[in-house]
Amino acid sequence: GNSVTQMEGPVTLSEEAFLTINCTYTATGYPSLFWYVQYPGEGLQLLLKATKADDKGSNKGFEATYRKETTSFHLEKGSVQVSDSAVYFCALPDYGGATNKLIFGTGTLLAVQP
Amino acid sequence: GAGVSQSPSNKVTEKGKDVELRCDPISGHTALYWYRQSLGQGLEFLIYFQGNSAPDKSGLPSDRFSAERTGGSVSTLTIQRTQQEDSAVYLCASSLFPRGEDTIYFGEGSWLTVV
């Protein structure tokens, strides 16, 4: 089945620093790719997604480009804020019969210090 | 509803007791998922429901775990004879259709502690 490997954390940055969280995948075909975020005390929510190769997903200043050549979907932000502190999960669907379940990476904890 | 609703939000139970966790998906969503999130294990898929099709139970860790979805809407995850290793956050999610590009929406989870 499909799988995803995500950069281990924690990642600790100062406010306004540049952020990269690496994500690589193994998949049959070109499935959609997702980044989910979990803020402290909250449930997971979709941050951004890309549905085909070379697409760029973006939201709240975060970006990720679907790169089939390197099978990667790295998350980037040019200037992080304290409010970005959260756990970030890379994900893709795993097709098994009729199931479309999401497979998640292990999550990367981001801590942004003022 | 406006979002995926789960109850209880927190549950502390004694080892050996049965627990039921409830999920109310977004209205009109045909696909419903249960995941488990525990320290050191990341997000673990448990079970998936789609319409009237047979559920995908491939992620259930043991026969103590079961789930049902009534009327294509509300779902209940039941854990029988709970063990300490069952302590985790149980997340329910739903999507409009089970297509690869569809966004899956998560509830805030039910925190289960087995003592």
CB proximity A29 to B under 8 Å:
no
| Segment B31-83, tens digit of pLDDT | 999 999 987 678 899 999 988 888 889 899 999 999 999 887 999 999 999 99
Compute φ and ψ for B84, nearest 5 degrees. -60, -30
Please report the DSSP string for B34-87 in residue order: EEEEETTTEEEEEEEEETTSPPB-TT--STTEEEEESTTS-EEEEE-S--GGG-
Interatomic CA distance for residues B109 and B69, integer angstroms: 17
Compute φ and ψ for B23, nearest 5 degrees. -135, 130
CB proximity B98 to A under 8 Å:
yes
The C-alpha of A78 sits at a distance from chain B's nearest C-alpha, in angstroms, of 25
Interatomic CA distance for residues B66 and B79, integer angstroms: 7
Q: Which position has the token pair 């098994």? A: A96
Q: Range with the lowest mean pLDDT among A27-31, B24-28, B33-37, B59-63?
A: A27-31
For residues B87, B89, B94, B99, the Cα torsion angle rounded to the nearest 10 degrees is -80
* B62 vs A101, residue with greater confidence: B62
Question: CA nearest B91 in A: which residue?
Answer: A43
